[in-house]
Structure 1
């Protein structure tokens, strides 16, 4: 994230506030909720960091043995964790009611604080995996850089070691961030940046207005196409035991929104009916002071971030490309922006990029450094990280508006 200082600043401010600032939840709960959220995507990198924080906050070591050893109040949160992580459109008032009624009940402020932590860590898993970040060098399962054939840097897996000091340290100064972009693959030709810039120009010059019916049809087309897209990587083998103890119902994973069964039961979420700007922001601020302002700044920074560059080109207006990425991510989660022409997604996002985005958003645990290398090959690393930042933020915003709409329904009925 250090490539994008203005964004990183907002990200750290928000993360520090939800984990260490004023708020209704005790500090040990906050870090444990972060562990539960990261467990849904088997993100050992985040789980390790949050375990350390949990201990530093005086958390009970026993809880780290797994979900069977935690208070019932925390266990009751698991259903919301699972639903938000994979199929947020299934969240119902009854989920909130279950938490706020009866023994071990949660206050609404606590529920909202927990939801913010869950959505933050679910989407942070997307960022971690899609940038190829894995365990630190001194942890088993981590990665290290070795000088390979012809001076190329190779990423190799660190085998389990009883003593971190046994792991040979290598010179990591020649990091992948400074390596030249990946060579093009003869088997998967990619549309070049010049073509992309030309397409954006053509789109911005088009003046014909689409009818609402046509716009709705284009959204459904993209939705159906995304359901037919393969995803990168294979399903991970068995969940490692040190992660599995924080995960229940492993088989509950993302399901394409277009295949959600009886469509009438779960209609498309229209942003015009419940949006972050008009509804979510004020509700979250009311129930959990100040967090709405921090989240709002972070979303806006990620959405509007631009240096007017694309690969080696300068003075490029990238707004259409950025909007296509943001709206495509939210479309994967069943959210439709009524005034957006979803036909632009097909014009601007290649199938390979759509596959990468879908995987990063919905199956982050399957994404590897190789997948990162294969997409957007003419783009700079900082630009690829920028795409991953948008995956993080658009996904978090989508989960949050589903959750906050549900909290709002619970409060008003």
Structure 2
């Protein structure tokens, strides 16, 4: 993330706040919820960090033996953890009701805090795998953890936004001055010059599409996404040191287009419930200040641009970035009524869609090799930028489903 300092600043402020700032949940709960969230994607990198943090905050070491050793109140989060991580459209008022009533109940403020931590660590798992970090951790020459005294200069002691004691990772050694990945003769990729030409011609077209046509284009993208397989092979069973934090390990993403009864789970239309008009104020009301931090983080990731593309300067990348953001949310059945989903097919080729889909829905299948194979003409910082959009667009999608459900529970 150090490639994008303006984003990193917002990310660290948010992570620091939800794990260490004012909030209704005790600190040991916060870190254990983070472990449960990362466990859904078998993200050993984040689980290791959060186990250390859990113990530093005085957490009971017995809890680290697994879900059978934690308080019932925490164990009750298993259901919404798995639903939010894999099929957020299945979240219902009954999930909220179960948690907020009866023994070991959660207050709405506590539950919102827990939901923010769950969605943060689900989507952070996507980022970790899509950059190849999880895999590197297992190699002798992989990335190293740093403590406060040996942290890289950019994260050195005294940095205002660095959360105390959270180990930082230095990626600059391996990737500094690293050349772009050479193109593969067997897998031709759309050249950046072609992509720029397509963006230019899209911006010159001014014809308005009828709402029915826009809806049809969304459905086409949704159906096509179901035909795209994940990169990598079927993941192995979670190792025992991770499996103990995972309940119902077989529960996984299914394509929204194949979701079964359409009446029960219609497309989520952003015009009916959006982050700007609804989610932001609800989350701020129940968990003070977190809405402002999340909003800054979403906006920074969505608007981030250096007007470059693979070494070319003065490029307006907004259409390309928008296509990525909306494609990610489309995978979870979220539709923006005013967006022309036809642009996704014009700007995102199949191999990039497969990478984005895997990073979003099956993160633990993505390896550094998959990262290297995609967007070969792009610089590493630009590829990391794409992965940041996966992180933020996915987190916003999960939060939209969660907050809409909480709102329905509160108003009915």
Partner of 2:346: 347
How far apart are the structure 2 equivalents of 1:227 and 1:401? Answer: 22
Shift of 1:372: 0.2
- Cα distance per residue 1:25-73 (max 9 Å; x no partner): 0000000000000000000000000000000000000000000000000
Equivalent pairs, count: 385
Partner of 1:358: 357
Partner of 1:92: 92
Shift of 1:266: 0.4
Matched ranges for 1:88-237 at <5 A: 88-134=88-134, 141-142=138-139, 144=141, 175-237=174-236
Decide whether the 8 Å contact of 1:135 with 1:143 is kept in 2: no
How far apart are the structure 2 equivalents of 1:293 and 1:248? Answer: 33
User: What root-mean-square deviation, in Å, do the aligned CA atoms of Structure 1 and Structure 2 show?
Assistant: 1.3
Partner of 1:298: 297
In structure 2, list runs of 5 or more residues that go unmatched. 144-170
How far apart are the structure 2 equivalents of 1:337 and 1:178? Answer: 39
Partner of 2:258: 259
Q: What TM-score do you get using the length of structure 1 for normalisation?
A: 0.92
How far apart are the structure 1 equivalents of 2:186 and 2:139? Answer: 30
Q: Secondary structure at the match of 1:96?
A: helix
Partner of 1:321: 320
Partner of 1:69: 69
Q: Secondary structure at the match of 1:144?
A: coil
Partner of 1:20: 20
Shift of 1:361: 0.2
Partner of 1:280: 279
Q: Secondary structure at the match of 1:11?
A: helix
Shift of 1:182: 1.1
- Cα distance per residue 1:343-371 (max 9 Å; x no partner): 00000001000000000000000000000
The structure-2 alpha-carbon separation of the partners of 1:40 and 1:143, relative to structure 1 and needing over 3 Å to count, comes to farther
Decide whether the 8 Å contact of 1:134 with 1:143 is kept in 2: no
- Cα distance per residue 1:170-189 (max 9 Å; x no partner): xx985145321111111110
How far apart are the structure 1 equivalents of 2:135 and 2:371? Answer: 17
Decide whether the 8 Å contact of 2:284 with 2:290 is kept in 1: yes
How far apart are the structure 2 equivalents of 1:340 and 1:143? Answer: 46
- Cα distance per residue 1:98-143 (max 9 Å; x no partner): 0000000000000000000000000000000000112676xxx345
Shift of 1:308: 0.2
How far apart are the structure 1 equivalents of 2:203 and 2:173? Answer: 41
How far apart are the structure 1 equivalents of 2:61 and 2:173? Answer: 39
How far apart are the structure 2 equivalents of 1:71 and 1:96? Answer: 18
How far apart are the structure 1 equivalents of 2:67 and 2:91? Answer: 22
Matched, 1:410 2:402: no
Partner of 1:152: none
Tell me which stretches of 4 or more aligned residues in structure 1 moved more than 3 Å. Answer: none
How far apart are the structure 2 equivalents of 1:294 and 1:176? Answer: 29
Q: Secondary structure at the match of 2:340?
A: coil
The structure-2 alpha-carbon separation of the partners of 1:347 and 1:236, relative to structure 1 and needing over 3 Å to count, comes to same
How far apart are the structure 2 equivalents of 1:40 and 1:230? Answer: 20
How far apart are the structure 2 equivalents of 1:144 and 1:335? Answer: 41
Partner of 2:382: 383
Decide whether the 8 Å contact of 1:119 with 1:399 is kept in 2: yes
- Cα distance per residue 1:70-111 (max 9 Å; x no partner): 000000011000000000000000000000000000000000
Decide whether the 8 Å contact of 1:45 with 1:136 is kept in 2: no
How far apart are the structure 1 equivalents of 2:345 and 2:176? Answer: 29
Decide whether the 8 Å contact of 1:177 with 1:381 is kept in 2: no
- Cα distance per residue 1:159-200 (max 9 Å; x no partner): xxxxxxxxxxxxx98514532111111111000000000000
Partner of 2:161: none
Decide whether the 8 Å contact of 1:119 with 1:400 is kept in 2: yes
How far apart are the structure 1 equivalents of 2:173 and 2:403? Answer: 44
